[in-house]
Structure 1
Amino acid sequence: MAWIQIRLNSTSEKAESISDFLEELGSVSVTFMDSQDTPIFEPLPGETRLWGNTDVIALFDAETDMQPILQALQHSGLLAQDFAYKIEQIEDKDWEREWMDNFHPMRFGRRLWICPSWREVPDQNAVNVMLDPGLAFGTGTHPTTALCLEWLDGLDLKGKTLIDFGCGSGILAIAALKLGAKQAIGIDIDPQAILASRNNAEANGVADRLQLFLSEAKPADLKADVVVANILAGPLKELYPVIGSLVKSEGLLCLSGILETQAASVCETYAQSFRLEPVAVREEWCRITGKVK
């Protein structure tokens, strides 16, 4: 089936209203894309997190007359009268196959591979985590996740416990278990993340060693040898008392989801309790690691 796509430049404040209006006009799907290519992270429950400069992209049946659509948008009050837009025909593709073809096995460090289930494992003797893209953030493709995976690959996790704070897909906890950790605990605010982590753990044969908690339900005395938190700089600083308290005496901490420009302020916060190592940087994103003082 052929499609027509309209792309509108908007703002984060207006994007959802425009999306609702386009669906009323007959759009079969609406997506948001950052005009400045800024990554988006897993939203809070019930939240749709948008960018400061957002493109709204709507898909219509190819037979749709787009002129009435444009006129309706002009009179909606949601856009300026001379709003920027682009209309283009989209070739008919097997979109599921197109999506699947974009994901390949990825290597992190010396031993660890993250592999989609439909791909052949490159090295049967490596540590292979089978993980498909899904609802929760974390497939290894983003620099923040890659930095954490490489750090875990370099540790001796045998007999250790790990907490994945903001576990998303469970990728870090599952990788730690397959790298030799005795037990892992995943914590997240989003029930979808808990479900995704459980399903991924079952697919990798480690569900019996992974405990999962919503944030408000985690045990008060919870501690681990290694704590990883791949979220965002703001929450990392705000949750310093919580995250810091999860690390055992002489335990290790790994923080990511931090822009290079934000690293100094996060380091300043955590240096109160941790001996921090040099910041690792990749594509403007950072990883901060350290040990309890």
Structure 2
Amino acid sequence: MIENESLKQKILELVLNSDRKLSQSSIENILSSELNIKRKEIRKALNGLISEGELEYTYIFGTSYVEKSFNRPVRISSSVIVKPYNLTYNQLDSDIVIDIFPGISFGSGEHPTTRLSIQGIEYALKDQKLIHDFQNSTVLDIGTGSGILAIATLKFGIETGIGVDTDPCSISEAKKNARINGLENRIRILNPSEQPNATFSFITANLRFPDIMNLFPVISKNSKPGAPVVLSGIRPEEIDAVIDRYTKNNFKCLLTSEEKNWSCLVLQKNN
């Protein structure tokens, strides 16, 4: 029989690593099958995590989900702190703070793909200084969700950005997050059909493997020579196929990183 604390850790890992929102019933179904334990034991551990403030219930369109509590600042890279918009935080001079309004879109900094993406952005813009002159620099964030990646690139120096998403709720949330970070005049959040025909200094896409592969023509067309590209939402077993697709077509791979069975790539378009 699995110990209660070990079961709590399993639940946390499941919630954090999932690429979709999970209901209590989904968690019970997955873990009862995987661990061969009774659902009441899972409920007990889950209730403990909620009482401790590690997890919380969210309600979206009449359905309840279990999610990581976003009630404190989270450091997700050496420079970047993500925090709830209404929480005060005594930041260091070197900190870049992103305020996020908790909502239904992924992108509060808790999910490994978000952390990996922002670490990739920091690597490209701060560590490697792949963009030497930020004047007139632009970013395209494909599948923007909460808008956190577009916001992060601007906090690191990119001048203006466009985030695109097909989900109306994500578009609404990303606009709200741009506003609470004081960037509403520098970031435009659009439906893909509204995206202008332009090239960009930086591109980010935190999506799943099929989208990352299918979007290659779009990313190639919309990236300027020398533009860094950060791709996340990729499983480790998928990374070689992504690298192969991009490096055979005018991109070079600068960095691969991995966290909790998720991977991220930092690429750069050849000049």
- Cα offsets for 1:97-125 (capped at 9, x unmatched): 97496532122333321111243313153
Structure 2 gaps of 5+ residues are 1-10, 30-37, 57-67
Amino acid at match of 1:232: R
Superposition deviation, residue 246 in structure 1: 1.5
CA distance, structure 1, for counterparts of residue 12 and residue 70 of structure 2: 20
1:157-209, CA deviations, whole angstroms, 9 ceiling, x for partnerless residues? Answer: 63321111110000011111122210011011111111111000111100100
Instruction: Name the counterpart of 1:243.
Output: 219
AA in 2 matched with 1:127: I
- Report 1:267-282 matches (<5 A): 267-271=243-247, 272-282=249-259
Q: Rg larger in 1 or in 2? A: 1
Secondary structure of the corresponding residue to residue 235 of structure 1: helix
Out of 241, 248, 264, the residue aligned to residue 265 of structure 1 is 241
Structure 1 residues 244, 103: closer, same or farther in 2, change over 3 A? farther
Partners of 1:118 and 1:97 in 2: CA distance: 19
Q: How much is the aligned-residue C-alpha RMSD, in angstroms?
A: 3.2
> How far 1:281 moved relative to its partner?
1.4
Alignment partners' CA distance in 1, 2:183 and 2:242: 32
% identity of equivalent residues: 25
- Structure 2 distance, partners of 1:105, 1:122, is 10
Q: Which residue number corresponds to residue 252 of structure 1?
A: 228
User: CA shift at 1:241, angstroms?
Assistant: 0.8
Contact 1:148 1:254 in 2 (8 A): yes
Which residue is 1:8 aligned to? none
Structure 1 residue runs without a partner (length 5+): 1-32, 43-49, 58-83
Query: Could you tell me which residue of structure 1 aligns to residue 209 of structure 2?
Result: 233
- Determine if the alignment matches structure 1 residue 187 to structure 2 residue 164: yes
Q: 5 Å matches for 1:138-217?
A: 138-154=107-123, 155=125, 156=129, 158-159=134-135, 160-217=137-194
On the 8 A contact 1:276/1:290 being kept in 2, the answer is yes
SS of 1:208's partner is coil
Conserved in 1, the CA contact under 8 Å of 2:85 and 2:180?
A: no
Letter in 2 for 1:250: G
Contact 2:107 2:147 in 1 (8 A): yes
Give CA deviations for 1:21-62 in whole Å, capped at 9, x if unaligned: xxxxxxxxxxxx9996651248xxxxxxx89x94468xxxxx
TM-score by length of 1: 0.67
Determine if contact 1:34/1:55 at 8 Å carries over to the other structure: no
Q: Deviations over 1:244-287 (max 9, x none)?
A: 21111121111000010110111111112201124211222111
CA–CA distance in 2 between the matches of 1:222 and 1:201? 21
Q: Name which of structure 1's ranges 114-123 and 142-151 shifts more when overlaid on structure 2.
A: 114-123
Q: CA deviation at 1:225?
A: 0.5
Flag the 1:189–1:284 CA change in 2: closer, same or farther, 3 A: same
Measured at CA, do residues 284 and 254 of structure 1 come closer, stay the same or move farther in structure 2, by a change above 3 Å?
Answer: same
Contact 1:34 1:54 in 2 (8 A): no
- Hey, what does 1:21 align to over in structure 2? none
Partner secondary structure for residue 249 of structure 1: coil
Secondary structure in 1 aligned to 2:185? helix
Bigger strand share:
1
8 A contact 1:188–1:213 mirrored in 2: yes
